[in-house]
Structure 1
């Protein structure tokens, strides 16, 4: 933690060394925020922090933590809830996907997914509101996914559904406090998340390139919605249309269509691209 006070607001971003998390950190720094960057890899954190300090002239605090570890998560929660060095913007972005079904996958893998995608979001969001509400200001951005609207998209979809509903619940409870909560629900985003999952955004993909989103478009749209206090952000008109359809079509129909798809396509559900 920096010993010299700054007049700039502070944003804490989890999963800040790659994909959407790195893009959120850069965009918030560009907007004049000091940063607390959180991820597991200390070397990547230090490299990320150094680059941000050099390019944007902001203060960057490094906090190495595996959010599936409860003691490490609590350290991050304590930082989020600090009254002496307040966090003005929390971005819950950290996450990962599993290329295995829920019913016959490894239980430990699914428990870790739940801890990072659900429990960490809950714990950090609660720590943030506990500090922000008394101050009368603050913003929380939770990275969900259009996958959270798809029954049959595996444990990842279930986890993102939790993030969506939790954030919408928070948004309602926080109304009138000066604090807001927003969930971003992107579709396919071009990040290393998909490379690690064996997905392609190039011409060889069975998916049309038109459905892939650029990171900057997702980040810019969601931050605009965050600072406008909107509870839900779905970047781009085409994904807004997809989201609207998924929201009104009976879930049994969506599930039936999903279950008829080839197994390879099912693994390629829309993801947040952390």
Structure 2
């Protein structure tokens, strides 16, 4: 049985899908720990949620590109006596341009945020969930993890594919302990993601039916992890795209993905 007021840790909570998760979970009666780099945004969101829903919203600003951040974050949770019931591994971003167009530090930081931080947070928080017999982990992956890789944003899709496999493995290890793990795989979502990567003008060329709101993505994600789905692709359009690519011969799928990628990737 879940606690009367579950505590949810949301990474990348300052905007987009992370902020939408925070709002949706507060509306469900959760208390929150919000983390991201931009403390002023977190403070504003925490005040909004506390006033609207009467929850407790704790702000712990952190940069998950720092390898020490996950352990420091969990140490602070322990110091405050906060036991996390829901972990929303949402923090992430893409690095535009080709692989060699960026320096190694840029790639290393992105891999730390996309891969190492979510895995470490799960490793540190999962034992407590199992001991209490209840927990939920949502690893925000992407439709990109289900289709062939493209030129540009070279590490993003591989990182998301890793999160999908990681979530499947954790599901098999954890479900008998009352812990559900889900890789949530949205497609194009209205958020700051493409503004940060400088590809907004290119993305605006996509037809409207390709896009989902962050609230819609989050609604599907919460329902999926609650029912025990190890992987969930959001939206009928995205699920259709996944099925089509799965049915194609590998060579054809690769060629199609490469052609589409050239239309919507930023040149060096």
Question: Structures share a fold, TM > 0.5?
Answer: yes
The superposition leaves residues 226-246 of structure 1 with CA deviations (integer Å, 9 ceiling, x where unpaired) of 111211111222211112223
Residues 91 and 142, structure 1, Cα contact 8 Å, conserved in 2: yes
Alignment of 1:55-204 (within 5 A): 55-78=52-75, 84-153=81-150, 154-200=154-200
Alpha-carbon distance change, 267 to 183 in structure 1, aligned in 2, over 3 angstroms? farther
TM-score, normalised to structure 1's length?
0.88
Q: Which moved more, 1:120-129 or 1:110-119?
A: 120-129
Q: Give, in angstroms, the shift of residue 82 of structure 1.
A: 7.8
- Answer 1 or 2: which has greater helix percent: 2
Contact 2:199 2:265 (8 Å CA) reproduced: no
Could you say if the C-alpha distance between residues 82 and 133 of structure 1 is closer, same or farther in structure 2, counting changes exceeding 3 Å? farther
1:9-54, Cα deviation, whole Å (9 max, x unpaired): 1000000010000000000000000000001112222111111111
- Report deviation, 1:217: 0.8
Aligned length: 262
In structure 2, C-alpha distance between the alignment counterparts of 1:119 and 1:212, rounded to whole Å: 28
SS state of the match for residue 100, structure 2?
coil
Aligned counterpart, 1:3: none
Corresponding residue for residue 17 of structure 1: 14
CA distances 1:100-129 after superposition (whole Å, capped 9, x unpaired): 112332211111110000001110111121
Deviates more, 1:243-252 or 1:62-71: 243-252
SS of 1:189's equivalent? Answer: strand
Give the whole-Å Cα distance in 2 for the aligned partners of 1:189 and 1:81: 34
1:93 Cα offset (Å): 0.2
Give the stretch that moved more between structures: 58-67 or 102-111: 102-111
State the Cα distance separating 1:264 from its structure 2 match.
Answer: 4.2
Gaps of 5+ in 1: 1-5, 269-274
Taking structure 1 as reference, are residues 81 and 176 closer, same or farther at Cα in structure 2, changes over 3 Å only? farther
Query: How well do the aligned residues superpose, as a CA RMSD in angstroms?
Result: 2.3
Distance 2:240 2:39 in 1: 40
Give the Cα separation in 2 of the matches to 1:121 and 1:94.
8
